[in-house]
Chain A
């Protein structure tokens, strides 16, 4: 009963109203906004972490690919070098063959030139012999020949012939 005397209906009603007003104000300005913000932040953080995890996986995959390629790079280099050497050998062979062919052609041409020059020289020699023969014949016809003169003439002829050769 003593406790009941401490109660005041007006005060109770006023306090209830005061609390309810505060409740609705805080619900509108604090609780809903803050709880939504907290949820939004939580979701954002979770999605960011998800993205980070995905990026990590991607990086890990790229790294493993890179390492794999790095391990195979010596092998690939060896293959490339072999290919280059083989190609170089092939080219060298081609060059050698071409050089041999060219040298053969040059040799043949040289032989032909020699042949030509030889035939030309023969022609010239022939002409000279003919000229000398004609000259000698003319000389014999102009002078009366003696045995000594014959010998002398033949000897001069032979000397001239040697000079021509």
Chain B
């Protein structure tokens, strides 16, 4: 067993008590000790993520297959969703924010579906895994930094990272470099905080459901309450992740753009 796989199995075993059994974990249990079980352990979250990605892609394809000005039910539903997300993003970033709508929207729908997927029997929320949320945070981080460099230029980006106003201290080298380093760390920490917040919340919801389920019949009211709480929390967490990501974009976009749009 590789070191990577070993760590994943350990992490999985440490989480096992806090999660309801799912299709993959049951299969892994059945083939316990085999390479297949090891494989399932390693890729459990990825498998669920891929299932969700495939599901969302299929729905999007079906909804827009015969897209027209007079929408069908599925297209209508998707239009409401897209319109709401577009309004949300453009409300923060202005009209030019529309180019970020696909990214933020996909992020929101992906996280929301992953969060809610755990409520389906024998399924799991991939977002209860830190690796999943960190992966999403990395995507946000890279896209935000790419946008910052693209919109401000390399010099403008470095200038922005060194902080303003600099005044007399601009003549020293140490302070701007230090601010640059602090700024860079803060840029890295932002998506990491997103990842931790999301993972911790979803993991806690799963743990709550697991605890409620462990009470048997007596735990049914708590289980129902936990499910409702999970639904609410899933929406909140997906919204928070999308909202903060949008704000990160807003922070790196040139100021004049927002000024022009809002005014």
Contacts and interface: CB of A to CB of B under 8 A. Distances in A.
A165 to B, nearest CB: 118
Contact of B57 (A20, A26, A31): A26
B252 interface: no
Interface stretch (B116-124, B132-140, B155-163, B205-213): B132-140
A33 to B, nearest CB: 5
B109 interface: yes
Given A6-B131, A18-B46, A30 B64 contact: yes
Contacts of A30: 60, 63-64, 78, 82
Interface string A1-36: 001011111111111101111110111011111110
B230 interface: no
B9 to A, nearest CB: 10
Contacts of B103: 23
Q: How large is the interface on B (under 10, 10 to 19, 20 to 34, 35 or more residues)?
A: 35 or more
Of A3, A18, A40, A41, most B-chain CB atoms within 10 Å: A18
A156 B100 CA distance: 152
> What is the interface of chain A mostly: helix, strand, loop, or mixed?
helix
A15 B60 contact: no
Contacts of A32: 102
Interface stretch (B21-29, B48-56, B178-186): B48-56
B82 A34 contact: yes
15 contacts: A5-B11, A8-B4, A10-B4, A10-B42, A14-B49, A22-B53, A22-B106, A23-B106, A25-B57, A25-B61, A26-B105, A29-B61, A33-B67, A34-B78, A40-B69
